[in-house]
Amino acid sequence: MGKKYYRYHTLEGRKRAFPSYNEHGNSELPGTSTKLFFLLNYLKSNNLQQHQAANFGISQSKVSRASSILLMVLNQTLKRLSLSISVPMRQTV
* pLDDT tens digits for range 6-31: 777 777 788 877 776 667 777 888 88
Q: Examine the pLDDT at 60 and tell me if it is beyond 90.
A: yes
pTM: 0.65
* pLDDT tens digits for range 73-84: 888 888 878 776
Give bridge partners of residue 15 from the DSSP assignment: 9
Position 20 scores a pLDDT of: 63
Q: Where are the domains of the chain?
A: 3-80
45 Cβ contact list (under 8 Å, min separation 6)? none
